[in-house]
Amino acid sequence: MDRGLYVASSGGLVETRRLDVVANNVANASTVGYKAQRIVSRQQEFSDTLASIVNAPNRAAKDQEQLPGVTDIRTVTDFSPGPISHTGNPLNVALTEPDTFFVVDTPDGEQLTRAGNFTLDEQGNIVTPDGHSVLGEGGALTVGAGMPKITSNGTVLADGENVGRLRTVQVENPSELERRGGARFVPQGGAEPTVVEASVVPESVEMPNFNIVETMVEMISTQRSFEAYSKTVKTIDDINSVALRTAKSQ
């Protein structure tokens, strides 16, 4: 493959993936507790190519060792805390410590989240906006018909009576968490969350941890980069076509 085509197509592939990720971040600009995704890639090495395992002395792919490019394109999650926004809702809470999470009971098992925009179902249970139970230290939390309130240490009150305490856990290595939906995660690779004492900001929620203006600028920049790579590919292809026609006419 032409070196220029290889470089341009490789770069275009990264920008395409980056555009998908940035667009997903923008779509979650108002999702409480959302953690931004980032693209990570590395320079391609000869060991990444098929040519590296071919031992023939005159192999056609011999010079592929010199072809630059990118590989191992993957998405990682940025778990840095987001800004806290006051809502005035007594069922809203925002975690103050990094790498700590609320625990939610879902049909797929327990999941972790930083989204503290809780509400009540018809039975007076504290649930997520999509109806999943928010777990306390002793299981599901119920306030019944009482006036709910959550204190700064996660204690849940109903008409001033203690009905439980939010269960919060800390993950030593958040990179071992796998995303499930917009703002929920599950431990992978044997990671075991540790139950810790809750520390929250009452009547508040944690917003997404990225700046929407900067992200929109990144989206425009990524789009332009992809277009530049595409034009480069077309230009190189046109040059090669002219060269071939010239060679045939001689």
What does the H/E/C string look like for 168-208? Answer: EEECCCHHHEEECCCCEEEECCCCCCEEECCCEEECEEECC
Cα–Cα nearest to 69, from 229, 224, 222, 218: 229
pLDDT in tens, 46-103: 455 544 444 555 444 444 444 455 555 788 999 999 999 999 999 999 999 999 999 9
Domain identity same for 62 and 148 = no
Is there a single domain that holds both residue 90 and residue 137?
yes
pTM, 2 dp: 0.79
The pLDDT of residue 44 is 56
What are the residues facing 136 on neighbouring strands? Answer: 139, 166
Which residues are CB-contacts of 172 (< 8 A; sequence separation ≥ 6)? 99, 191, 194
Cβ-Cβ contacts under 8 Å for 231 (sequence gap 6 or more): none
- Kindly state whether residues 137 and 220 are assigned to the same domain: no
Asked if 73 and 97 sit in the same domain, the reply is no
Q: Do the beta carbons of residue 131 and residue 121 sit within 8 Å?
A: yes
Both 71 and 141 in one domain: the answer is no
The span from the first CA to the last CA of the chain, in angstroms, equals 24
Q: Kindly report the number of other CB atoms within 10 A of residue 180's CB atom.
A: 15
> How many whole angstroms separate alpha carbon 73 and alpha carbon 23?
17
Domain residues for 165? 84-206
Co-location of 198 and 91 in the same domain: yes
The highest-confidence range among 48-52, 206-210, 219-223, by mean pLDDT, is: 206-210
**Of 39-48, 71-80, 103-112, 201-210, where does mean pLDDT reach its minimum?**
39-48
pLDDT digits (tens, 9 = 90+) for 115-164: 999 999 999 999 999 999 999 999 999 999 889 999 999 999 999 999 99
Number of structural domains in the chain: 2
